[in-house]
Amino acid sequence: MNILLVYPQFPDTFWSFKHALKFVHKKASSPPLGLLTVAAMLPSTWEKRLVDMNVSQLQEKDLAWADMLMISAMTVQRESTQSLISRARALGKIIVAGGPLFTMEPDAFPEVDHLILNEAEITLPQFLSDLGRGDPQRVYKTDAFADITTTPVPLWELADINKYESLSLQFTRGCPFNCDFCNVTSLLGHHMRLKTTQQLIAELDKIYSLGWRRGIFIVDDNFIGNKRTLKQEVLPAMIEWRKGKKGCRFVTEASVNLSDDDELIEMMVKAGFTQVFVGIETPDDLALAECSKSQNRNRDLVSSVKKLQQMGLQVMGGFIVGFDSDDESIFDRMIAFIQESGIVTAMVGLLQAPVGTQLYQRMLREGRISDHYSGDNVDGETNIIPKMDMERLKQGYRKILDSIYSSKGFYERVRTFLKNYTPSPTAVTLQWQEIAALLSSIVEIGIKSDERRDYWKLFFWTLFKHPKKFPLAITFSIYGYHFRKVNELHVS
């Protein structure tokens, strides 16, 4: 059987980094890890091909070759997914679909032949068994959570890895916290499930054997959810794995209480971690209480961020406005917090309620759910009817974005970060892509763009004041270029 695994296209969003990727001659941030893992679960006798529509076009010959299409998608990919399904249906192809979009909205896709929902380690074998008997059902779902120690190494051979900026792996699923707007726990549960350390090292060995030397994103929703295992087993093994190897810096997601554990931070930096995404959400304690973000309360969040930076971890931050407790002062307070913290990669969105979350259920009971959930973090849309006047909320939100993504605000924040940041020896590795990015940035930002004055000020300030951090200054200049392009898309 010929299986075509297809990953729909992302729109131009904050996390797509579309406008930044061209500087390093890459097509997309990372390959579809879920589809590549599913591919490794399929019978070895089946022929398999991957088409990631973010790096290549789906050709008619690809569809003609396929006996069956397997599609995975996130909510933000909905538009491309619907177009893909219509195209495949017109050709009479069997369509099998799974992933977060379909698990959250199964009724929205009546044209899909078979829905493999929840975790594939459980539902995919059921489908394959029924398919082998000639009696496949339309929907496969489960309330159980998978034993991920059985999850295979992704079938990386299907992807053209040279088209991507980073590769990825998953070590854990689940999160011990209870943030009411987050769908991680509704999809994956509160109990932290871990692969074995041997699995993690096997995946790293596979990636390294392919010649990969750039970034590796550990996509766990909270990598530090089981600190004991990290300290005793995982990080010592990763530190040992790094010996004699080049490149391969790690990025992950973690809760802000990482800043409370110096030993853990030091081990992560030694293991090669250079960046961590943290859900800061808001500087307002009432809003943190409202959304059950207990791990962020009763602490100086700016100090927590700066400590992580000083110890060698760049902090990317997620922020939200539109909580019921928010008043009109939140907009200026949010700007001030982001600027003071030096969080260069600051994603700010309006509060949204994904299907299945506690917030969604509460808003549904209160009659405050409207429209559909876009899944785009910075499009200025929400499926919630807020307590604040909607027009005022959107104006205040626009004020935040226009301020933090402006050339002046952004470059000031970069300098704040660079002054505070202590890079580890693995934080910067120069490859030909970085040299190309420098040259392209000089032309595209330093000559052609309206921000060229701020670019050159940062360029020479870093070169003379913090020369070891100069590559980061150029990288962040390119990030800022992307953020401004995305922001301009949503200006009404």
Q: Which of 183, 368, 191 is nearest to 279 (CA)?
A: 183
pLDDT at 334: 98
What is the tens place of the pLDDT at every residue in 177-230? 999 999 998 899 989 999 999 999 999 999 999 999 999 999 999 999 999 999
Q: Is the predicted pLDDT of residue 429 greater than 90, yes or no?
A: no
Q: What are the distances in angstroms from CA 192 to CA 30, 175, 199, 233, 483?
A: 24, 6, 16, 16, 33
Q: Which of the listed CATH numbers 3.90.1150.10, 3.40.50.720, 3.20.20.70, 2.102.10.10 matches domain 165-420?
A: 3.20.20.70
Phi, psi of 308, deg, nearest 5: -60, -40
pLDDT tens, position by position, 218-253: 999 999 999 999 999 999 999 999 999 989 999 999
**According to the model, what pLDDT value does residue 379 have?**
86
pLDDT number for residue 430: 66
pLDDT score of 456 more than 70:
yes
Q: Please give the pLDDT value at position 374.
A: 81
CB 271 within 8 A of CB 216: no
Q: What is the distance between the alpha carbons of residues 54 and 393, in angstroms, rounded to a whole number?
A: 33
Q: What is the CATH number of domain 2-140?
A: 3.40.50
| Mean per-residue pLDDT, 460-467 | 96
Q: Which long-range contacts (CB under 8 A, 24 or more apart) does 38-44 make?
A: 38/5, 38/70, 38/72, 38/98, 38/120, 38/124, 39/3, 39/5, 39/154, 39/155, 39/158, 40/152, 40/153, 40/154, 40/155, 41/120, 41/121, 41/124, 41/125, 41/152, 42/3, 42/128, 43/1, 43/128
pTM above 0.85, yes or no: yes
pLDDT exceeds 80 at position 359 = yes
Give the mean pLDDT of the chain. Answer: 95
Instruction: Report the C-alpha gap between 360 and 479 in whole angstroms.
Output: 32
Query: For tokens 């670019």, what's the residue?
Result: 455
Q: How confident is the model at residue 377 (pLDDT cuts 50, 70, 90)?
A: confident
pLDDT for residue 297 is more than 90: yes
pLDDT tens digits for range 40-92: 999 999 999 999 999 999 999 999 999 999 999 999 999 999 999 999 999 99
Share of the chain above pLDDT 70, in %: 99
pLDDT band at 432 (very low <50, low <70, confident <90, very high): confident
What are the structural domain ranges in the chain? 2-140, 165-420, 432-489
Task: Answer left, alpha or beta for residue 203, where phi above 0 means left and psi between -120 and 50 means alpha.
Answer: alpha
- Per residue in 15-43, pLDDT (tens digit) is 899 999 999 999 999 999 999 999 999 99
